[in-house]
Amino acid sequence: LGYGHMGRAFAKRLRGFGCTVLAHDHDPAVLSDGNAELVPLTELQARADVLSIHIPYSEANHQFVNEAFLAAFPHHIWLVNTARGEVLDQAALVARLRGGQVRGAALDVLENEKLATLTPAQQASFDYLRTAPNVVLSPHIGGWTHQSYQRINEVLVAKIAALGK
């Protein structure tokens, strides 16, 4: 879900394993690069076995992946979120995990990553996720790669150079 830079990079890696990769992006200007078949959202939900989320956070897509979104999958799925925690309704995910409609989840991000500020509902959700045998949590490190450091440096150099002009 989302076929920007991260979605494309993920698709490229999956293709190396021989996976059929479907992608959906709300931007009609996004074109396929041959690593994924771009499909309407309803087709993605109908055909996907794994949902990997690669959309940025904005108020418009707050909890975009919610109960109704997850209910639209006709079969059980695996879910991966390395994007932003706020795009996923964590309570809906927990309910779907408990009910078996989501087979498992890998989460690099959570809706609230400041553990000291969790609401009681968020704490209950987090407690379930951290102990569930079909959930893998990582501490928001998915984007920290050699390539991301290089890209950050390139952007910083360009911005500093622009200040001098």
| Enzyme catalytic residues | 84, 113, 140
Distance (Å, rounded) from C-alpha 94 to C-alpha 117? 19
Contact, 67 vs 89, CB < 8 A?
yes
